Amino acid sequence: MAILIMLFRKTVKNRWLVLSLLTGMTLCIALTSSMPIYKNSILQRMLHKEMEQSYVNTGAYTGRISAESSLPDVPAHEQVRDIIEMDAYWEQHIFDNSEAFTPLFYVRERLSRAIQIVPADPERVNPEQQRTARLYMRSGLLDHIRLVDGRLPSPEPVDGVYEALVTDNALVKLHMLLDNEFIVEDDSAAAPVRIKPVGVIAESDLSDLYWNIGNLSGYSNHFILDERLFEQDVMAKGTVRLSHARWYAAFDFLRFDLEQADSLIERAQRLKNVYVSQFGYFATVDLPGEKTLGSFRERESTLQALLWSLNVPLYVLIAFYLYMVSNLLIDRQKPEIAVLRSRGAGRLQLTMLYAVEGLLFTGIALAIGPFIGLMLTQALGSTDTFMSFVQRKSLQAELSPEVFIYAGGAAVGAFILNLIPVIQATRVSIVDQKRIAARQKPRSFWHLFGLDFILLVLAGYGLFSFRRRVEDLVSLGLDNKDIAVDPLLFAVPSLFILGFGLLMLRIYPMIVRLIYWIGKRMWSPSLYSSMLMVGRRSVQYQGLMLFMILTVGTGIFNASAARTMNQNMEDQIWYRQGADIVLQQRWVNDAPISSSAPGQMAQSDPTEGNYLEPPFEPFKSMPGVEMAAQVYKRTDAKLSSGNVHADTSLIGIRSDEFGQVAWMKERLLPYHFYDYLNLIAADPFAVLVSSSAEKDYNLSVGDHVSISLPSHGEMRGVIYGFIDYFPGFIPNPEAPQPGAGSRKPLLVVAQLPTIQNELALEPYEVWLKLTSPDDRQALYDHIQNENLQLLKLDDTYERIAESRNDPFRMAMNGVMSLGFILSLGISFIGFLIYWLLSLQGRMLQLGILRAMGISFTQLVGMLAAEQLLTSGAGILVGFAAGMLASHIFVPMFQLAFDPGRIVPPFEVMIQANDTVQMLLLTTTMLLTALGILIWLLSRMKIAQAVKLGED
C-alpha cells in the first residue's frame, strides 16, 4: 500500500509528464494495433470486390462450391448408401454454424441412367418413336420455378404412377403431351415403372443464384420427380440405377474474411479427397473463386511488408518521443533516486519500483490502444490521396487475437524503452550527482561513439543496395516479385535523417561560437547570454534539437513520399492511356465471311477485303469534346534499313490533332514534345524512331528506313529524330525469354495519311480531349443515344478513380497521412513539454537575472533568442534533412511497385503546400511556447525565486 501511495503522489506531482508519456505509449500501441486491423480490413474489402468482379466477368458465382460424381456400376443399395454418407459429409464438414458457411442455397441433384420408355396407350401416342429419357431430382426446385402449363406432381405415386414435371423442350424432343402415361422398358429397372408428365415448368428468375450451376435448358429428355418421391421410391427401392449425383452450395462471400477464404479452399480440397479415398469415385469439385481466394495470402504478405515499411519512420519517431519524455520524467526524479540510493535502496529495488509504475502506464495504454487503433483504421480507409479524406463506405474493422498480439508486442517495447532511463539513473549516487552538477556536461554518447557516422554509413549502404536492385529489375525487365525486397530497406530514410541530424548537432556548437565571436562586440546582453549558453552548454539542448530534426524531417519525408507515389502512379496511367478518352469504333469489312466452328460467331478475315472508314468529324462535335485525334497502332510491324531487320511497333498520327489531344509529361524529352511533332509535320515520309534503334542498331538521323506490315505492302521513311518516350509506348525491356536477349522495344511514329496511302486503310483509335472531366456523362449519353458500335472505350479518369480505390494505394495514403499528422502532433507536444519543464528548472536563474537588473523585455528577448538558436535551428536542420532524404530515398518506393514498367520515370515531388503546413505549425509552436514563457515570467516573483535559491 505504501508503494502504491508513493506512486500515486509521484504521478500527481508529475501529472503533465505522465500524461505525455501515457499519450506516447497509447499512440505506439494504437499504431501497431492498426496494422493488422487495417491489413485484414483492406484485404477483406479487396476480396469482396474481386469476387464481385469475377462474378460479373464470368457469370460463375464465386461464393459457390459444387461437386459432381459419376456413380459406379454397383448394386443400387450401395449407391444409395454412398450418397447418404456424402450428404452427411456436406452437412457436417462443408457447413457450420458461422454466418459465412451457412449456405444461401444447398442443392442436391440425382440423375438416373438413360432408360427406354414406351407409351402405355399406343393409340394416343405414336409407339414407333424411339424415346430415351432419364429420371431427375433437384432439391428445392418448387421454390424457384413457375408453372407454364398443367399442374404440380404428387409427392407420392398415384395408382402406381410417378407424376413428373418436364420442360417445353422435353415435350418436343420426346414427342409427348401432358397426362400421357409411359412405361419404362429397361433391363436396369428393378420393377415396372410407370411415369406421367403432368406439368410444364420454367425458371422463375434466371438471375437467381439457384440456377448458377445450370438452368433447365439442358433437361430436354428428363422427367423431373418430386424430391421425396425420388429418394423414398426410386433410390430406396432401387427402381432405376443412378448414373450421376451432384451437390451445390452457395455462400454469401460478402461475409468472408481471409481465414474463411482459406477455409473454403481447404474444404474443397478435402471434399475431393473424400470422394476419391473414401468412396473411390471420380468427382469434379468446382470452386469458381479458387484463383481469387488463393492469391490473397501472397497479397497479405505484400501488404504487411508495405505497412511495416511505411510505418518504420513513425516507430522511430514515437520511440524517440517516448525516450525523451521518459528521460525528462526521470531527470526530475534523479534527486529522489539518489537520496533513496544513499539510504540503502538497491538498484534492483528502485528499478522494480519504477517497473511497477511502468507496468501501470503500459497496462492503461494497452487497454486503450487497440480501440484507438480501430478508429485509426476507419480514418485510414477514408483517404483518397495524401491528406485528402473523402466520404467512403467504412471498412469492416474488428479486433482479432492477432491485434492483441501486436498490441502486446508494442506494449513490451514501450515498457522497455521507459525503463532505460531508470536503469541509467539508478547508477548515480547522491555524490555522483553533485559531482556531475558541478562539472560541465560531457559530450553526448552518440557523438562520443560516432553514431552519426555509423547511421550515415548504414543509410549509404541501403541506398547502394536499392539502386543495384532497381538497375537489375529495369535492365532485365523483371517484375518486382522476381527479386526479394527487404522491408528494412525502407527504414534507411529514418537512419539518414537521424544520422544527418546528429552530424549537424556535432557541427552546430562551433557555428554558434563562430557567430558569437564575429559579433561579440555588438551583441546585446540578452543575445550575448543566449549565444554563450547555447555554445557552451549545447549538450543539454541536443535532445530537443534532435527531436525537432526527426519530427520535421519525418513529416517532410512522409509528405514527399506520398505526393511522389500518388503523382507518379497517376502519371503512369495518363502516359499509358495517352488521352482523356480512348475509343475505337467498329469498322465494316467487305471481306467474305469465314466459316466458324460450332458455337462461335462467324467472322471476316481482316487481312482480306477492304475496310470502310466511318466518318471521323462527328467525334469532334460530340458534347464535352474539345478535340479529337486519329491514332493508328500496330505492334507487329517490321523495320528495315540496310542490314538492320527488327520488330517494331508502329504509330500513325496527324501531328496537329495529336499534339492538341495527347497527354505528355514535361521534361521527359530533351526538347518539348511539340517540337518533335513539328519536326515531322512538313514531310509526309518523316518518321520518329525510339532511341533504342540508335543505340542497338546504330541508326542515325537522315537514314532511310522501310516499314512493313504482315499481308500489306511496304512504306519508306526518313528518320528525323529519336525519342525516348511517346504516349502509350513502354521503352523498358520486357522479361527476356530463355536464350533471348533483352533489347529494348522499338517504335516508329509516322504520318497517318502516309500509312493509309502506302500500306493500308485499317481501323484506328480515336483519342478525345474533354473540355472538363465533368462532361463525361454527356459524352456517354450521346454515344448510347447514337447507338455507336464501339470495340473499345477507355476512360482515363475512371482508371484513376479505380487506382485511388486500390487497397495498396489506400494503405500508402492512409499511413503517410497518419504519419504526417502524428509528426505535427508529437512535435508540438514534445516541444511544449520541454520548454515548460526547462523554464521551471531555470526559475532560480531567471529570478537572479531579474534581481541583477535585467529588464523583463531583455529577459524575453534572451529566451526568444535561445529558442531560435535551439528549436529554430533544429527545425531548419529538420527541413534540410527531410528535403535531402526525399530526393535521395523516395525513389526507393519503386520497389513496392514494378520498377521495370514504371514509365514515366520516378520523379521526386515536394509540394509547397506540405512545406507551408509544416512551416506554419513550427512557427505556431515557437510563438505558442514563447507566449507561455512570457506569461509564466510575468507571474514570477523575484523574491520568491531568490529565497528558493537561499533554501
Q: What is the pLDDT of residues 664-698, one digit of tens each?
A: 988 888 889 899 999 999 899 999 999 888 888 88
> How far from each other are the two terminal CA atoms of the chain, in whole angstroms?
32
Strand 283-286 relative to strand 383-385, pairing: unpaired
pLDDT interval class at 629 (50, 70, 90): very high
CA distance 39 to 896: 16
Q: How wide is the angle at C-alpha 431 spanned by C-alphas 429 and 437, nearest 5°?
A: 100
DSSP 634: E
- DSSP letters of 720-742? EEEES-BTTB--SPPPPPTT---
Convert the pLDDT of each residue in 117-135 to its tens digit: 888 888 777 877 888 888 9
* pLDDT for the residue numbered 483: 40
DSSP 158: B
CA-wise closest residue to 70 among 61, 60, 82: 82
Those residues whose C-beta lies under 8 Å from the C-beta of residue 379, and which sit 6 or more positions away, are: 389, 814, 818
Does 906 score more than 90 pLDDT? no
- DSSP letters of 67-84? EEEEPPS--HHHHHHHHH
Does 544 score more than 80 pLDDT? no
CA distance 654 to 501: 55
Residue ranges per domain, the chain? 1-62+301-439, 65-296, 610-788
* pLDDT for the residue numbered 687: 93
* pLDDT for the residue numbered 951: 47
pTM above 0.75, yes or no: no
The packing angle between helices 807-841 and 347-380, to 10°, is 140
All cell numbers assigned to 331: 531527470
Does 949 score more than 70 pLDDT? no
Q: What is the mean pLDDT of residues 429-448?
A: 62
Q: What is the mean pLDDT of residues 837-850?
A: 69
pLDDT interval class at 394 (50, 70, 90): low
CA distance 136 to 225: 6
3-state secondary structure 792-842: EEEEHHHHHHHHHCCHHHHHHHHHHHHHHHHHHHHHHHHHHHHHHHHHHHC
Q: What is the mean pLDDT of residues 637-654?
A: 89
Does 104 score more than 80 pLDDT? yes
The packing angle between helices 451-476 and 873-889, to 10°, is 30
Those residues whose C-beta lies under 8 Å from the C-beta of residue 510, and which sit 6 or more positions away, are: none
CA distance 757 to 749: 16
CA distance 6 to 13: 11
Convert the pLDDT of each residue in 571-625 to its tens digit: 888 999 989 999 988 888 765 554 444 333 334 444 455 788 888 888 888 898 8
- DSSP letters of 380-401? HTTEEETTEE---PPP-----H
All cell numbers assigned to 434: 553533485
CA distance 323 to 321: 5
3-state secondary structure 875-934: HHHHHHHHHHHHHHHHHHHHHHCCHHHCCCCCCCCCCHHHHHHHHHHHHHHHHHHHHHHH
% of the chain exceeding 70 in pLDDT: 83
User: 564, 809 in Cβ contact below 8 A?
Assistant: no
Half-sphere exposure of 202 (CA within 13 A, CB side): 7
Those residues whose C-beta lies under 8 Å from the C-beta of residue 312, and which sit 6 or more positions away, are: 487, 488, 490, 491, 494
CA-wise closest residue to 680 among 750, 733, 590: 750
Q: Which carries the bigger pLDDT value, residue 939 or residue 904? A: 904
CA distance 820 to 313: 10
Convert the pLDDT of each residue in 765-815 to its tens digit: 999 999 888 878 888 888 888 888 888 888 999 888 888 777 667 777 777
CA distance 202 to 199: 10
What is residue 776's three-state secondary structure? helix
Does 14 score more than 70 pLDDT? no
CA distance 531 to 508: 12
Does 948 score more than 60 pLDDT? no
Those residues whose C-beta lies under 8 Å from the C-beta of residue 430, and which sit 6 or more positions away, are: 335, 338, 339, 341, 342
Q: Which carries the bigger pLDDT value, residue 631 or residue 809? A: 631
CA distance 951 to 938: 23
All cell numbers assigned to 521: 562586440
Does 656 score more than 50 pLDDT? yes
* Mean pLDDT score across all residues of the chain: 79
Does 511 score more than 90 pLDDT? no
Q: What type of residue sits at position 811?
A: A
Convert the pLDDT of each residue in 738-767 to its tens digit: 444 456 789 999 999 999 888 888 889 999
* pLDDT for the residue numbered 384: 61
pLDDT interval class at 319 (50, 70, 90): confident
Q: What is the mean pLDDT of residues 416-423?
A: 82
Does 412 score more than 80 pLDDT? yes
Q: What is the mean pLDDT of residues 328-345?
A: 74
Residue 904, preceding peptide bond in cis (omega within 30° of 0):
yes
Convert the pLDDT of each residue in 279-296 to its tens digit: 666 678 888 877 777 777
Convert the pLDDT of each residue in 46-66 to its tens digit: 777 778 878 877 788 888 888
CA-wise closest residue to 551 among 603, 497, 507, 602: 497
Convert the pLDDT of each residue in 18-33 to its tens digit: 777 787 778 778 877 8
CA distance 124 to 381: 71
All cell numbers assigned to 556: 517532410
CA distance 265 to 285: 11
CA distance 9 to 353: 13
Q: Which carries the bigger pLDDT value, residue 487 or residue 380? A: 380
User: 512, 869 in Cβ contact below 8 A?
Assistant: yes
